[in-house]
Amino acid sequence: MLMYVLSLCTVGQVVRSLPEGEPVRGVTSLADEVYVLREKELDQVEVYDVVNYRLQRRLTVPNGGRFADMTSCEHYRCVYIADDDVECMHRLDVQGAATQWAVNDRPLGISVNAAHNVLVTSRYVRKIKEFSSHGDLLRELTLPDDVINPHHAIQTSNGQFILCHGGLNNKVHRVCKISADGRDIIQSHGGQRGSRSGQYNRPFHLAVDDNESVFVVDVGNRRVTLLSPTLDYERHVVSREALKWWPNRLCLDISRRHLYATDNEWKYATHIAGRVVVFSV
C-alpha cells in the first residue's frame, strides 16, 4: 500500500514486535488496524489494532495457495493478496468477504496507485499489470530488458514507477525509477550485488513517503535503506541488529510514522517462522 511518512529519525526505533508464528507473507495497514498474512491453510490473515497491537480477528482466504504479498486500499476498504501458486489475486473486505481474479502470470509484489487500482509485478514475464479493484485488466507494461527479476513496483504521483529488482542468481541488484510507459530507466541506485551502502543483496520490497523518498527492504543484507526522491543513498533506517531473522516486506503508516517490517526465520531452504516488527521512523 502506498502510504506516507515524514522521515525524522536517523535510525528507526523498535516500537513493538507482533507475535511469532507461521512465516509472514505480507503486512499492511487499513484504518486503525494492521493486517498480517501468514503461511497456513486457514485464518491466514490476522488483524491487530494499531494502539495496543491486540489481535482483533482472523480472516480466511478461500482457495488460497502460496501467497506472495499483501496490500490494502483505504478507498475500497479492502486488502489484496497475491497468490503465486494459483496465479491470482484475492480481495478481502474488512469483514472477510472474498473474491478473486486471474492474473495469468505468477504475481509477486503488489501495490495500489492513486487511481485505487492494483499494480501487480510479475517477475518471470517482467511486467507490471494494472487491474481495477474488481479484477478488470486495464493495461500491462513490459519492463526494460535490463530489469531482471523485478520484485515490487510503486507508482509515483507523476505516473512513473519505483521498482526493485535482482534475484539470487543475478549480478545486478537495483532500485530504479521507470518511465510512465514502462520503457525507460530514468534513475537507479545500486548495481553489482554487495553489502556496501550503495549496494544491495536482493532488494525485495518498497515503501514511498509523501516526499517520494523510498524505503527499500534489502533481504540479503538484513536491513532497510532510505533513498532520496532522486534515488540517492541517505541512510539505513533499520539495521540487522534490530532484526532477529530476515526481512522481506514493508508497510508505511503516515498517521503514526510507523514502518512495519516482516521478519522471517530461514532454515532448511524454507521459511519456518515469522513475525512483524514495528519501527518508529
Domain extents in the chain: 13-280
Cβ pair 153, 109 in contact under 8 A: yes
Q: How far apart are CA 186 and CA 177, in angstroms?
A: 5
Which residues, listed in sequence order, are joined to residue 196 by a DSSP beta bridge? none
Q: What cell numbers appear for 174 in the block?
A: 537495483
Mean pLDDT of 78-82: 98
| 76 has a pLDDT exceeding 60 | yes
| 6 has a pLDDT exceeding 90 | no
Binned at pLDDT 50, 70 and 90, residue 5 comes out as: very low
Instruction: Give residue 234's identity as a one-letter amino acid code.
Output: E
pLDDT digits (tens, 9 = 90+) for 192-202: 999 999 999 99
Instruction: Give residue 13's identity as a one-letter amino acid code.
Output: Q
Candidates 118, 181, 115; CA nearest to 144 is 181
Q: Quick one: CATH architecture of 13-280?
A: 6 Propeller (2.120)
Given the C-alpha cell 491486540, which residue does it identify? 54
Binned at pLDDT 50, 70 and 90, residue 269 comes out as: confident
- Angle in degrees, CA 230, 236, 242, rounded to 5: 150
Q: What cell numbers appear for 219 in the block?
A: 533481504
Mean pLDDT of 128-134: 97
Residue-level pLDDT at 255: 79
pLDDT digits (tens, 9 = 90+) for 144-188: 999 999 999 999 999 999 999 999 999 999 999 999 999 999 999
